[in-house]
DNA sequence: CCCGCCATGTAACACGTTACATGATTTT
DNA sequence: AAAATCATGTAACGTGTTACATGGCGGG
């Protein structure tokens, strides 16, 4: 249950609607998750009838009524218990990496295109993270910067890796089996 | 469909049974995926009745009969087409990172424990990757080393990040909001 | 006038995890 | 004698993705 704890964590900051939650995730935390409504609302319903959150229906003129969710005492305790538990080691699920692995069955040109595209994307991501850091007022959560720093560190590592792969590719002309990549 | 292409990719190397596939993934490619049988067999069945693979039933004495799967021409073409497509940007799904984000609501001591545990795990992973590289004969796939190098680069980046976070934690005593993490 | 934003939700579908069932052989 | 290995598979369950349905407001 990944979204469950993520949502509880957001509600810890401030009460929010499902719409807000989804927006927040997609806008300032898109590197962590960008769920559709089909993930957000059902999760909130579950949390509600398990007593981890409460609703407050707010009528609005013109606009449809809001449902503002707040975290409850039991909800907070569940979240804390989960937080204290050690997190299990995680996989590198990147589709890109899987393609790298299988790309040896591809034309070298296609492989190089993948690398180039990746480099551009990584650069873009790095810059957008830089902008996120600079945004004033957005810093609701103090540890948000830690996460951004983490993501940037990963970007840098990826660039280093790309450098190495491309260098090897140019040196010994193609992905030969002799390359050792120490 | 992540497992689908992963399995097709393995079958590109050599015909295999579902059991073999799962073993291979869990042993030498565990950083990418370690699916249960409930993921492997159904996927193979799907691939089979879509014509992407073929079976060859091999009787054995004592042991139950094997079903050795091979990739077919259409299967190879599907895989190639997928390989050539650009891969979409991926999220940092790490449970650990989510806990870091929310850990500001935790006692600093608990947070430090998470960091320490993570450091140890990362070190262990790095070393096990080093051993994987050294294994002779295991190098069926030439690009396997690229993936290992990638994973190691990520490990190093993680260590750097941990260094920085721990240094900051010791300097200004706790995750203060003033820290900027440039 | 049409499009995007606010705001909720459901339904179909696909997929993965976990646990179970079977059963002989080889290793400890 | 117990446990792990080989080898297949199914069923329950949870959860995520996608697409759809609704409906008024405000800007271009």
Domain holding A35: CATH number? 1.10.10.10
Domain count, chain A: 2
- A182 belongs to a structural domain: no
Measuring from the CA of residue B68 to each C1' atom, give the nucleotide at the shortest distance: D7
Domain shared by A79 and A129, yes or no:
no
Residue in B32, B105, B149 nearest the CB of A161? B149
My answer on whether A107 and A158 are in the same domain is yes
Does a structural domain hold residue B180? no
Rounded to an integer, the average pLDDT of A59-84 is 91
From start to end of B76-143, where are the E strands?
Answer: none
Q: Report residue B31 CA to chain centroid gap.
A: 3
Higher pLDDT, B71 or B89: B71
* Domain end position, chosen among A84, A103, A138: A84
Give tens-digit pLDDT for B6-63.
999 999 999 999 999 999 999 888 888 999 999 999 999 999 999 999 999 998 877 7
pLDDT grade for A28, boundaries at 50, 70 and 90 = confident
Q: How far apart are CA A158 and CA B154, in angstroms?
A: 8
Predicted local distance difference test score (pLDDT) of residue A95? 85
Q: How far is B76 from chain A (nearest CA, A)?
A: 10
Query: At residue A179, does pLDDT exceed 60?
Result: no
B59 lies in the same domain as B128: no
Contact (CB, 8 A) for A82 and A7: no
- Residue B176 covered by a domain: no
Q: How do the residues of chain B divide into helix, strand and coil, expressed in percent and rounded to 5?
A: 65, 5, 30
Pick from A71-80, A134-143, B166-175: least confident: A134-143
CB A147 within 8 A of CB A173: no
SS3 letters across chain A = CHHHHHHHHHHHHCCECHHHHHHHHHHHCCCCCCCCHHHHHHHHHHHHHCCCEEEEEECCCCCCCEEEEEECHHHHHHHHHHHHCCCCCCCCCCHHHHHHHHHHHCCHHHHHHHHHHHHHHHHHHHHHHHHHHHCCCCCCCCCHHHHHHHHHHHHHHHHHHHHHHHHHHHHCCCCCCCCCCC
Over range A116-140, report the average pLDDT.
Answer: 82
A120 with A164, same domain: the answer is yes
Same domain, B99 and B80: no
| A58: in domain | yes
The SS3 of residue B21 is helix
* Residue nearest the C1' of C10 (CA based): A38
The reply to whether B132 and B161 lie within a common domain is yes
- B157 contact residues in A (CB cutoff 8 A): 153-154, 156-157
Q: Is the pLDDT of residue A60 over 90?
A: no
Å separating the CA of residue A63 from the C1' of nucleotide D25? 7
pLDDT surpasses 60 at B142: yes
Identify whether residues B100 and B161 lie together within a single domain.
yes
Residue percentage of chain B with pLDDT more than 90:
58
In chain B, residues with a C-beta closer than 8 Å to the C-beta of A95 are: 2, 87-88, 90
Question: Testing the interface with B: which of A35, A75, A95 to mutate, by most B Cβ within 10 A?
Answer: A95
Nucleotides of C under 7 A from a protein CB: 6-12, 14-21, 23-26
Q: Same domain for B58 and B105?
A: no
Residue B59 pLDDT: 87
**Residue B182, pLDDT above cutoff 70:** no
Q: Are residues B15 and B60 in the same domain?
A: yes
Instruction: Note the pLDDT of residue A182.
Output: 52
Domain hosting residue A45, numbered range: 2-84
In a domain, residue A163? The reply is: yes
Task: Establish if A181 belongs to a structural domain.
Answer: no
Domain edge (last residue) among A84, A108, A124: A84
- Residue A78 and residue A122 in one domain: no
Please give the average per-residue pLDDT across A128-142, as a whole number: 73
* Closest partner CB to A157 (pick from B102, B153, B165): B153
Q: What is the mean pLDDT of chain A?
A: 88
Domain end position, chosen among B84, B107, B134: B84
Band (A127; pLDDT cuts 50, 70, 90):
very high
In this structure, the answer to whether residues A57 and A108 fall within a common structural domain is no
**B32 CA: distance to closest CA in chain A (Å):** 5
Q: Residue A88: is its pLDDT beyond 60?
A: yes
Does A6 fall in a domain?
yes
- The arithmetic mean of pLDDT across residues A158-175, rounded, is 84
Distances (CA, A) of A86 to A142, B99, B121: 21, 9, 11
A11/A31 same-domain check = yes
Whether A1 shows a pLDDT value over 80: the answer reads no
Q: Is residue B30 part of a domain?
A: yes
Global pTM reads 0.87
Nucleotide nearest to A66 (CA to C1'): C7
pLDDT for position B65: 85
Count CB-CB contacts under 10 A for residue B165.
Answer: 22
Q: Is the pLDDT of residue B173 over 80?
A: no
Closest residue to A149, CB basis, from B139, B151, B161: B161
A152: closest CA among B86, B41, B107, B161?
Answer: B161
Q: Choose from A142, A167, A178 for mutation: most chain B CBs within 10 A.
A: A142
């Amino acid at each position: 249950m990944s979204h469950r704890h993520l949502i509880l964590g957001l509600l810890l900051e401030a009460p929010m609607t499902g719409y807000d939650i989804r927006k927040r995730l997609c806008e300032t935390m898109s590197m962590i998750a960008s769920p559709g409504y089909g993930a957000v609302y059902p999760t909130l319903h579950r949390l509600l009838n398990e007593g981890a959150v409460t609703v407050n229906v707010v009528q609005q003129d013109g606009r449809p009524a809001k449902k503002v969710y707040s975290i409850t005492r039991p909800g907070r305790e569940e979240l804390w218990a989960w937080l204290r538990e050690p997190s299990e080691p995680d996989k590198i699920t990147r589709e890109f990496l899987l393609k790298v692995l299988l790309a040896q069955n591809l034309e070298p040109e296609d492989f190089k295109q993948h690398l180039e595209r990746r480099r551009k994307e990584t650069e873009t991501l790095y810059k957008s993270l830089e902008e996120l850091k600079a945004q004033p007022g957005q810093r609701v959560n103090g540890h948000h910067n830690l996460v951004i720093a983490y993501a940037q560190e990963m970007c840098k590592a990826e660039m280093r890796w790309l450098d190495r792969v491309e260098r090897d590719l140019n040196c010994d002309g193609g992905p030969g089996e002799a390359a050792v990549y120490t």
